[in-house]
Amino acid sequence: MTAGTTSGALEAIERIVDRGRDVLQEVVDVLHDRFDHYSWVGIYLIEDGDLVLGPWKGPEATEHVRIPVGQGICGAAAATGRTEVVDDINADSRYLACFPSTRSEIVVPISHEGSVVGEIDIDSDQPAAFGEKDRAFLERVAELVSSHAARRGL
């Protein structure tokens, strides 16, 4: 675990995307391993109108492996196509609880050819862990993996 830089992580992710194998799992691993405040990292993919959990990395599995679009913070981001940043999950009635240690969450939609095909979901054990830098970085990561997510999902 290191306190990573976004530019170093972007370079690593560009290399993974160029290589083309197990892209989504490797990107999840990089995000989880390089940033201490990214406690649990997962990618959900749209399948038959639901968000289905794909690759993930974190201390434990989540029970929310299938989330209807529109439900929870994950479902809200998929429905609107806009990033959701929740500084205090206890103050957000949409929150679907996964881990007792989670304090804040960011969900970044992955779009391909105008449609949401999946999303990056990150839970943090720190309150208000996600700032503008995380949002801009993760929205760039979502662009980098979009064609891979489109191939895996639907």
List residues binding ligand SME (CB under 6 A). Answer: 42, 62, 64, 67, 72-74, 95-96, 98, 105, 121, 123
Chain-centre distance of CA 12, in angstroms? 17
From the CB of 15, what's the least distance to ligand SME, in Å? 27
* Cβ atoms of 28 and 43 closer than 8 Å: yes
Residue 34 vs 42, nearer CB to ligand SME:
42
* Cβ atoms of 44 and 76 closer than 8 Å: no
Q: How far apart are CA 109 and CA 120, in angstroms?
A: 6
- Nearest residue to ligand SME by CB is 72
SS3 call for 55: strand
* Cβ atoms of 4 and 19 closer than 8 Å: no
Residue 9 vs 98, nearer CB to ligand SME:
98
Residue 11 vs 60, nearer CB to ligand SME:
60
From the CB of 21, what's the least distance to ligand SME, in Å? 25
Residue 12 vs 149, nearer CB to ligand SME:
149
